[in-house]
Protein backbone atom coordinates (compact mmCIF):
# COMPACT_ATOMS: atom_id res chain seq x y z
CA UNK A 1 0.00 0.00 0.00
CA UNK A 2 1.29 3.44 -0.94
CA UNK A 3 0.67 5.84 1.92
CA UNK A 4 -0.96 9.12 0.94
CA UNK A 5 -0.79 12.44 2.74
CA UNK A 6 -4.55 12.69 3.28
CA UNK A 7 -6.84 10.80 5.64
CA UNK A 8 -6.21 7.06 5.82
CA UNK A 9 -9.01 4.58 6.41
CA UNK A 10 -9.04 2.28 9.42
CA UNK A 11 -8.69 -0.79 7.19
CA UNK A 12 -5.74 0.71 5.26
CA UNK A 13 -3.98 1.72 8.49
CA UNK A 14 -4.36 -1.78 9.93
CA UNK A 15 -3.29 -3.33 6.62
CA UNK A 16 -0.10 -1.26 6.72
CA UNK A 17 0.78 -2.77 10.09
CA UNK A 18 -0.08 -6.43 9.51
CA UNK A 19 0.13 -7.11 5.75
CA UNK A 20 0.11 -9.67 4.25
CA UNK A 21 -2.01 -11.06 7.11
CA UNK A 22 -5.76 -10.49 7.10
CA UNK A 23 -7.28 -8.92 10.22
CA UNK A 24 -8.83 -12.31 11.06
CA UNK A 25 -5.43 -14.03 10.89
CA UNK A 26 -3.69 -11.35 12.93
CA UNK A 27 -6.22 -11.21 15.78
CA UNK A 28 -6.57 -14.99 15.88
CA UNK A 29 -2.92 -16.03 15.70
CA UNK A 30 -0.77 -13.10 16.86
CA UNK A 31 -2.57 -10.42 18.87
CA UNK A 32 -1.54 -10.69 22.55
CA UNK A 33 0.19 -13.99 21.68
CA UNK A 34 3.43 -13.58 19.71
CA UNK A 35 5.45 -11.12 17.67
CA UNK A 36 4.91 -10.67 13.94
CA UNK A 37 7.56 -9.33 11.55
CA UNK A 38 5.95 -8.12 8.34
CA UNK A 39 8.61 -8.36 5.65
CA UNK A 40 6.37 -6.53 3.19
CA UNK A 41 7.77 -3.08 2.40
CA UNK A 42 5.53 -0.03 2.22
CA UNK A 43 6.83 2.69 -0.10
CA UNK A 44 5.85 6.16 0.97
CA UNK A 45 6.07 5.58 4.74
CA UNK A 46 8.04 8.83 4.80
CA UNK A 47 4.71 10.56 4.15
CA UNK A 48 3.96 9.85 7.81
CA UNK A 49 7.35 11.06 9.06
CA UNK A 50 10.86 11.73 7.82
CA UNK A 51 14.30 12.74 9.05
CA UNK A 52 13.66 16.16 7.48
CA UNK A 53 10.52 16.48 9.61
CA UNK A 54 12.46 15.56 12.78
CA UNK A 55 15.09 18.15 11.86
CA UNK A 56 12.34 20.76 11.41
CA UNK A 57 10.72 19.88 14.75
CA UNK A 58 13.99 20.19 16.66
CA UNK A 59 14.96 23.41 14.89
CA UNK A 60 11.69 25.33 14.69
CA UNK A 61 8.94 23.83 16.87
CA UNK A 62 8.03 24.72 20.42
CA UNK A 63 9.85 22.22 22.61
CA UNK A 64 8.74 22.16 26.25
CA UNK A 65 10.87 19.88 28.45
CA UNK A 66 8.34 17.04 28.18
CA UNK A 67 8.50 17.08 24.36
CA UNK A 68 11.87 15.38 24.13
CA UNK A 69 14.06 12.88 25.95
CA UNK A 70 17.27 11.04 25.17
CA UNK A 71 18.85 7.66 25.88
CA UNK A 72 22.12 5.89 25.14
CA UNK A 73 23.31 2.31 25.49
CA UNK A 74 20.43 1.21 27.66
CA UNK A 75 20.21 4.18 30.00
CA UNK A 76 18.26 7.43 30.01
CA UNK A 77 20.24 10.65 29.62
CA UNK A 78 19.90 13.21 32.41
CA UNK A 79 17.78 16.09 31.00
CA UNK A 80 20.38 18.50 32.41
CA UNK A 81 22.64 17.36 29.55
CA UNK A 82 20.29 18.79 26.89
CA UNK A 83 18.33 21.53 28.66
CA UNK A 84 19.21 24.95 30.04
CA UNK A 85 19.03 25.58 33.82
CA UNK A 86 15.49 27.00 33.40
CA UNK A 87 14.33 23.73 31.78
CA UNK A 88 14.14 25.01 28.20
CA UNK A 89 15.45 22.51 25.65
CA UNK A 90 18.96 23.30 24.42
CA UNK A 91 18.55 22.36 20.75
CA UNK A 92 22.25 22.43 20.03
CA UNK A 93 22.93 20.10 22.95
CA UNK A 94 20.29 17.68 21.64
CA UNK A 95 22.08 17.44 18.31
CA UNK A 96 25.48 17.24 19.98
CA UNK A 97 24.32 14.34 22.13
CA UNK A 98 22.94 12.66 19.00
CA UNK A 99 26.36 13.12 17.37
CA UNK A 100 27.85 11.42 20.43
CA UNK A 101 25.59 8.37 20.06
CA UNK A 102 22.39 9.25 21.95
CA UNK A 103 18.90 8.41 20.70
CA UNK A 104 16.47 11.31 20.28
CA UNK A 105 13.02 10.40 21.63
CA UNK A 106 9.91 12.45 20.82
CA UNK A 107 7.11 11.06 23.02
CA UNK A 108 3.47 11.61 22.10
CA UNK A 109 4.41 13.39 18.87
CA UNK A 110 0.96 12.66 17.42
CA UNK A 111 -0.40 15.49 19.58
CA UNK A 112 1.82 17.94 17.66
CA UNK A 113 1.76 16.39 14.19
CA UNK A 114 -1.46 16.16 12.19
CA UNK A 115 -0.46 13.19 10.01
CA UNK A 116 0.56 11.04 12.96
CA UNK A 117 -2.56 12.08 14.86
CA UNK A 118 -4.80 11.10 11.95
CA UNK A 119 -3.00 7.78 11.72
CA UNK A 120 -3.57 7.11 15.43
CA UNK A 121 -7.25 7.98 15.15
CA UNK A 122 -7.63 5.61 12.20
CA UNK A 123 -6.43 2.70 14.37
CA UNK A 124 -8.61 3.34 17.43
CA UNK A 125 -11.71 1.64 16.04
CA UNK A 126 -9.66 -1.29 14.72
CA UNK A 127 -8.37 -2.02 18.24
CA UNK A 128 -11.09 -0.48 20.41
CA UNK A 129 -8.28 1.25 22.29
CA UNK A 130 -6.49 4.56 22.61
CA UNK A 131 -3.32 4.75 20.54
CA UNK A 132 -0.17 6.86 20.80
CA UNK A 133 3.15 7.38 19.06
CA UNK A 134 6.72 7.63 20.33
CA UNK A 135 9.47 8.51 17.86
CA UNK A 136 13.05 7.20 18.06
CA UNK A 137 15.95 8.64 16.05
CA UNK A 138 19.12 6.61 16.71
CA UNK A 139 22.67 7.17 15.35
CA UNK A 140 24.50 4.40 13.46
CA UNK A 141 25.81 1.57 15.63
CA UNK A 142 23.85 2.60 18.74
CA UNK A 143 20.78 1.63 20.73
CA UNK A 144 18.64 3.59 23.14
CA UNK A 145 17.45 0.91 25.56
CA UNK A 146 18.58 -2.51 26.73
CA UNK A 147 16.50 -5.69 26.81
CA UNK A 148 13.05 -4.91 28.22
CA UNK A 149 9.34 -5.47 27.71
CA UNK A 150 6.52 -2.93 27.47
CA UNK A 151 3.27 -2.87 29.42
CA UNK A 152 1.31 -2.19 26.21
CA UNK A 153 1.31 -3.72 22.73
CA UNK A 154 3.42 -1.91 20.16
CA UNK A 155 3.81 -1.71 16.41
CA UNK A 156 7.14 -0.50 15.04
CA UNK A 157 7.19 1.28 11.67
CA UNK A 158 10.74 1.52 10.30
CA UNK A 159 10.73 4.87 8.47
CA UNK A 160 14.45 5.26 7.64
CA UNK A 161 17.52 3.08 8.07
CA UNK A 162 17.26 -0.37 9.64
CA UNK A 163 17.39 -2.04 13.05
CA UNK A 164 18.78 -5.35 14.28
CA UNK A 165 16.03 -6.82 16.46
CA UNK A 166 16.25 -9.43 19.20
CA UNK A 167 13.10 -11.10 20.54
CA UNK A 168 13.27 -12.90 23.89
CA UNK A 169 10.84 -15.03 25.89
CA UNK A 170 7.35 -14.02 27.01
CA UNK A 171 5.94 -13.54 30.50
CA UNK A 172 3.56 -16.23 31.68
CA UNK A 173 0.82 -13.59 31.91
CA UNK A 174 0.19 -10.32 30.11
CA UNK A 175 1.30 -7.33 32.22
CA UNK A 176 -1.19 -4.76 33.44
CA UNK A 177 -0.63 -1.08 32.65
CA UNK A 178 2.02 0.23 35.02
CA UNK A 179 3.48 -3.25 35.52
CA UNK A 180 6.67 -2.26 33.71
CA UNK A 181 9.94 -4.09 33.24
CA UNK A 182 12.34 -4.26 36.17
CA UNK A 183 15.75 -5.65 35.27
CA UNK A 184 16.38 -6.73 38.87
CA UNK A 185 13.11 -8.67 39.05
CA UNK A 186 12.02 -9.79 35.59
CA UNK A 187 13.53 -12.63 33.59
CA UNK A 188 13.75 -11.77 29.89
CA UNK A 189 13.82 -15.42 28.87
CA UNK A 190 15.94 -16.97 26.16
CA UNK A 191 16.75 -15.30 22.86
CA UNK A 192 14.12 -16.58 20.42
CA UNK A 193 14.67 -14.67 17.20
CA UNK A 194 17.03 -12.23 15.49
CA UNK A 195 16.26 -10.34 12.31
CA UNK A 196 16.74 -7.00 10.53
CA UNK A 197 13.74 -4.66 10.36
CA UNK A 198 14.30 -2.87 7.08
CA UNK A 199 13.08 0.49 5.89
CA UNK A 200 9.36 0.35 5.07
CA UNK A 201 8.70 -2.76 7.19
CA UNK A 202 6.58 -3.16 10.33
CA UNK A 203 6.84 -5.26 13.49
CA UNK A 204 4.27 -6.19 16.13
CA UNK A 205 5.46 -6.94 19.70
CA UNK A 206 2.86 -7.97 22.33
CA UNK A 207 3.07 -6.49 25.80
CA UNK A 208 5.27 -8.62 28.03
CA UNK A 209 7.53 -9.85 25.19
CA UNK A 210 11.11 -8.83 25.96
CA UNK A 211 13.10 -7.30 23.10
CA UNK A 212 16.04 -5.11 22.11
CA UNK A 213 16.86 -3.16 18.93
CA UNK A 214 20.22 -1.85 17.68
CA UNK A 215 20.83 0.32 14.64
CA UNK A 216 21.88 -1.76 11.63
CA UNK A 217 24.53 -0.57 9.19
CA UNK A 218 26.07 2.86 8.64
CA UNK A 219 22.85 4.90 8.44
CA UNK A 220 20.83 6.36 11.33
CA UNK A 221 17.52 4.74 12.18
CA UNK A 222 14.18 6.52 12.45
CA UNK A 223 11.16 4.54 13.58
CA UNK A 224 7.65 5.19 14.85
CA UNK A 225 6.40 3.13 17.77
CA UNK A 226 2.60 2.99 17.86
CA UNK A 227 1.37 1.99 21.31
CA UNK A 228 -2.01 0.24 21.71
CA UNK A 229 -3.34 1.28 25.12
CA UNK A 230 -5.77 -1.53 25.72
CA UNK A 231 -8.40 -1.72 28.44
CA UNK A 232 -8.69 -5.12 30.10
CA UNK A 233 -11.53 -7.17 31.51
CA UNK A 234 -10.14 -6.24 34.91
CA UNK A 235 -10.79 -2.56 34.07
CA UNK A 236 -14.29 -3.43 32.90
CA UNK A 237 -15.10 -5.45 36.01
CA UNK A 238 -13.82 -2.71 38.32
CA UNK A 239 -16.19 -0.28 36.57
CA UNK A 240 -19.01 -2.81 36.95
CA UNK A 241 -18.37 -2.99 40.70
CA UNK A 242 -18.31 0.81 40.94
CA UNK A 243 -21.56 1.11 38.94
CA UNK A 244 -23.34 -1.58 40.99
CA UNK A 245 -22.15 0.02 44.25
CA UNK A 246 -24.24 3.10 43.49
CA UNK A 247 -27.33 0.91 44.01
CA UNK A 248 -26.16 -0.86 47.19
CA UNK A 249 -26.55 1.51 50.18
CA UNK A 250 -24.26 -0.49 52.47
CA UNK A 251 -21.34 0.01 50.09
CA UNK A 252 -21.36 3.67 51.17
CA UNK A 253 -20.63 2.84 54.80
CA UNK A 254 -17.12 3.18 56.18
CA UNK A 255 -15.06 0.12 57.03
CA UNK A 256 -15.32 -1.06 60.67
CA UNK A 257 -12.97 0.91 62.88
CA UNK A 258 -11.36 -2.26 64.23
CA UNK A 259 -11.12 -4.15 60.92
CA UNK A 260 -7.32 -4.03 60.94
CA UNK A 261 -6.83 -4.58 64.65
CA UNK A 262 -9.46 -6.98 66.00
CA UNK A 263 -8.92 -10.40 64.42
CA UNK A 264 -11.61 -11.82 66.69
CA UNK A 265 -14.29 -10.18 64.52
CA UNK A 266 -12.75 -11.61 61.35
CA UNK A 267 -15.52 -14.19 60.67
CA UNK A 268 -18.21 -11.51 61.00
CA UNK A 269 -16.45 -9.16 58.60
CA UNK A 270 -15.68 -11.97 56.16
CA UNK A 271 -19.38 -12.84 56.08
CA UNK A 272 -20.19 -9.19 55.38
CA UNK A 273 -17.64 -9.17 52.54
CA UNK A 274 -19.08 -12.31 50.98
CA UNK A 275 -22.66 -11.01 51.24
CA UNK A 276 -21.70 -7.72 49.53
CA UNK A 277 -19.82 -9.65 46.83
CA UNK A 278 -22.98 -11.66 46.10
CA UNK A 279 -25.06 -8.50 45.97
CA UNK A 280 -22.60 -6.88 43.56
CA UNK A 281 -22.74 -9.97 41.35
CA UNK A 282 -26.54 -9.81 41.42
CA UNK A 283 -26.81 -6.09 40.66
CA UNK A 284 -23.86 -5.54 38.31
CA UNK A 285 -25.13 -4.55 34.87
CA UNK A 286 -23.25 -5.35 31.67
CA UNK A 287 -25.30 -2.78 29.73
CA UNK A 288 -24.72 0.04 32.23
CA UNK A 289 -21.00 -0.73 32.42
CA UNK A 290 -20.72 -0.84 28.63
CA UNK A 291 -22.49 2.52 28.37
CA UNK A 292 -20.07 4.07 30.86
CA UNK A 293 -17.03 2.59 29.10
CA UNK A 294 -18.12 3.62 25.63
CA UNK A 295 -18.99 7.12 26.80
CA UNK A 296 -15.59 7.53 28.44
CA UNK A 297 -13.89 6.19 25.31
CA UNK A 298 -15.60 8.87 23.23
CA UNK A 299 -14.89 11.66 25.73
CA UNK A 300 -11.19 10.77 25.98
CA UNK A 301 -10.50 10.83 22.25
CA UNK A 302 -8.35 13.76 21.19
CA UNK A 303 -10.07 16.64 19.43
CA UNK A 304 -9.92 17.19 15.67
CA UNK A 305 -11.31 20.55 14.55
CA UNK A 306 -9.28 21.40 11.44
CA UNK A 307 -11.51 23.38 9.06
CA UNK A 308 -14.04 24.28 11.74
CA UNK A 309 -12.89 27.88 12.15
CA UNK A 310 -13.08 28.51 8.42
CA UNK A 311 -16.55 26.96 8.23
CA UNK A 312 -17.79 29.16 11.10
CA UNK A 313 -16.40 32.41 9.70
CA UNK A 314 -19.63 32.91 7.76
CA UNK A 315 -23.21 31.79 8.34
CA UNK A 316 -23.99 28.19 7.45
CA UNK A 317 -26.67 28.11 4.78
CA UNK A 318 -29.58 25.65 4.84
CA UNK A 319 -28.21 23.69 1.88
CA UNK A 320 -24.51 23.79 2.82
CA UNK A 321 -23.59 20.13 3.03
CA UNK A 322 -21.29 18.68 5.68
CA UNK A 323 -19.85 15.18 6.07
CA UNK A 324 -19.01 13.29 9.24
CA UNK A 325 -15.27 13.65 9.84
CA UNK A 326 -13.26 10.45 9.46
CA UNK A 327 -12.29 8.60 12.66
CA UNK A 328 -14.09 10.97 15.05
CA UNK A 329 -15.99 9.04 17.72
CA UNK A 330 -19.42 10.04 18.96
CA UNK A 331 -22.29 8.36 20.74
CA UNK A 332 -25.99 8.95 21.33
CA UNK A 333 -26.85 8.30 24.96
CA UNK A 334 -29.72 8.67 27.39
CA UNK A 335 -29.60 11.93 29.31
CA UNK A 336 -31.05 13.14 32.61
CA UNK A 337 -30.24 16.82 32.02
CA UNK A 338 -32.14 19.03 34.50
CA UNK A 339 -33.83 15.91 35.85
CA UNK A 340 -35.58 15.27 32.53
CA UNK A 341 -35.11 12.04 30.61
CA UNK A 342 -34.02 12.46 27.02
CA UNK A 343 -31.19 11.92 24.54
CA UNK A 344 -27.80 13.54 24.12
CA UNK A 345 -24.96 13.33 21.64
CA UNK A 346 -21.54 12.91 23.26
CA UNK A 347 -18.25 14.15 21.77
CA UNK A 348 -14.88 15.11 23.20
CA UNK A 349 -15.56 18.13 25.40
CA UNK A 350 -19.30 18.24 24.78
CA UNK A 351 -22.52 16.50 25.75
CA UNK A 352 -25.41 18.15 23.92
CA UNK A 353 -28.98 17.47 25.12
CA UNK A 354 -31.40 16.82 22.27
CA UNK A 355 -35.15 16.87 21.96
CA UNK A 356 -36.63 13.53 20.93
CA UNK A 357 -37.66 15.05 17.60
CA UNK A 358 -34.15 16.27 16.74
CA UNK A 359 -32.36 13.23 18.21
CA UNK A 360 -34.09 10.76 15.90
CA UNK A 361 -33.38 12.78 12.76
CA UNK A 362 -29.83 13.69 13.74
CA UNK A 363 -28.93 10.09 14.48
CA UNK A 364 -30.25 9.01 11.09
CA UNK A 365 -28.45 11.77 9.15
CA UNK A 366 -25.10 11.30 10.92
CA UNK A 367 -25.29 7.55 10.35
CA UNK A 368 -25.74 8.33 6.64
CA UNK A 369 -22.50 10.34 6.74
CA UNK A 370 -23.80 13.54 5.12
CA UNK A 371 -25.98 16.28 6.52
CA UNK A 372 -27.35 19.78 5.79
CA UNK A 373 -29.72 21.94 7.80
CA UNK A 374 -32.41 21.54 5.16
CA UNK A 375 -32.49 17.79 5.88
CA UNK A 376 -34.27 18.43 9.19
CA UNK A 377 -37.99 18.88 9.68
CA UNK A 378 -38.28 20.09 13.27
CA UNK A 379 -40.53 22.46 15.16
CA UNK A 380 -37.66 24.01 17.17
CA UNK A 381 -35.37 25.39 14.44
CA UNK A 382 -33.36 27.37 17.01
CA UNK A 383 -32.31 24.14 18.73
CA UNK A 384 -31.35 22.58 15.39
CA UNK A 385 -29.28 25.64 14.37
CA UNK A 386 -27.43 25.67 17.69
CA UNK A 387 -26.68 21.92 17.72
CA UNK A 388 -25.59 21.96 14.07
CA UNK A 389 -23.14 24.79 14.71
CA UNK A 390 -21.76 23.07 17.81
CA UNK A 391 -21.17 19.85 15.88
CA UNK A 392 -19.05 21.87 13.42
CA UNK A 393 -17.20 23.60 16.26
CA UNK A 394 -16.40 20.34 18.07
CA UNK A 395 -15.19 18.68 14.88
CA UNK A 396 -17.82 16.05 14.10
CA UNK A 397 -19.00 17.80 10.94
CA UNK A 398 -16.68 19.13 8.25
CA UNK A 399 -17.70 20.96 5.09
CA UNK A 400 -17.83 18.79 1.96
| pLDDT the model gives residue 339 | 56
Angle at 37 between CA 33 and CA 38, to 5 degrees: 120
The count of other CB atoms within 10 Å of the CB of residue 126 is 19
In sequence order, the 6+-apart residues with CB closer than 8 A to the CB of 21 are 29, 30, 36, 38
Which CATH number does the domain housing residue 88 bear? 2.60.120.650
Instruction: Note whether 246 and 323 are same-domain residues.
Output: no
| pLDDT the model gives residue 337 | 60
| pLDDT the model gives residue 243 | 93
pLDDT tens digit string along 169-216? 878 889 998 888 877 788 888 999 999 999 999 999 999 999 999 999
Instruction: Note whether 56 and 179 are same-domain residues.
Output: yes
Q: Are 140 and 219 in contact (CB under 8 A)?
A: yes
- pLDDT range class, residue 138, cuts 50, 70, 90: very high
Quote the domain boundaries for residue 73.
10-229
Residue with the larger pLDDT of the pair 290 and 43: 290
| pLDDT the model gives residue 7 | 59
High-pLDDT (> 70) share of the chain, %: 96
Specify the number of domains making up the chain. Answer: 3
Percent helix, percent strand, percent coil in the chain, to nearest 5:
40, 25, 40
CA-CA distance, 47 to 333, in Å (whole number)?
38
Asked whether residue 180 is assigned to any structural domain, the reply reads: yes
Which of the listed residues 262, 296, 330 is the one where a domain comes to its end? 296
pTM of structure:
0.86
Instruction: Note whether 53 and 183 are same-domain residues.
Output: yes
Quick one: how far is CA 73 from the chain centroid?
Answer: 28
pLDDT tens digit string along 219-250? 999 999 999 999 999 999 999 999 999 999 99
In the chain the first and final C-alpha atoms are separated, in Å, by 26
Angle at 225 between CA 110 and CA 83, to 5 degrees: 65
Instruction: Note whether 25 and 147 are same-domain residues.
Output: yes
Which of the listed residues 171, 203, 229 is the one where a domain comes to its end? 229
Instruction: Note whether 17 and 100 are same-domain residues.
Output: yes
| pLDDT the model gives residue 4 | 46
pLDDT higher than threshold 50 for residue 365: yes
Instruction: Note whether 159 and 252 are same-domain residues.
Output: no
| pLDDT the model gives residue 2 | 45
Instruction: Note whether 124 and 138 are same-domain residues.
Output: yes
Least confidently predicted of 51-55, 240-244, 344-348: 344-348
pLDDT higher than threshold 70 for residue 6: no
Which of the listed residues 177, 207, 229 is the one where a domain comes to its end? 229
Asked whether residue 4 is assigned to any structural domain, the reply reads: no
In sequence order, the 6+-apart residues with CB closer than 8 A to the CB of 285 are 240, 243, 244
Instruction: Note whether 143 and 177 are same-domain residues.
Output: yes
Asked whether residue 97 is assigned to any structural domain, the reply reads: yes
Instruction: Note whether 28 and 166 are same-domain residues.
Output: yes
| pLDDT the model gives residue 161 | 95
| pLDDT the model gives residue 5 | 41
- pLDDT range class, residue 255, cuts 50, 70, 90: very high
Asked whether residue 205 is assigned to any structural domain, the reply reads: yes
Instruction: Note whether 134 and 103 are same-domain residues.
Output: yes
Amino acid sequence: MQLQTGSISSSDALDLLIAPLSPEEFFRDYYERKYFHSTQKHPGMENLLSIDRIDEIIADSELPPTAISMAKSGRSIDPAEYTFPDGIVDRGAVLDNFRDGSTIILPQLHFADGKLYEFCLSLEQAFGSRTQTNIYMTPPGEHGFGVHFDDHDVFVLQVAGAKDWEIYGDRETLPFRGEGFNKDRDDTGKLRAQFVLEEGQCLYVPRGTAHRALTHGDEPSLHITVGILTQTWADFMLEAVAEASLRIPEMRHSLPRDLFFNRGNGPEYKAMFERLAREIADKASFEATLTAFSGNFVRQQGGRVRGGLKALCKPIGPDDRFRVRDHILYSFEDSTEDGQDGKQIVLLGASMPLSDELAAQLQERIAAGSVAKSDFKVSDTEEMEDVFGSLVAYGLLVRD
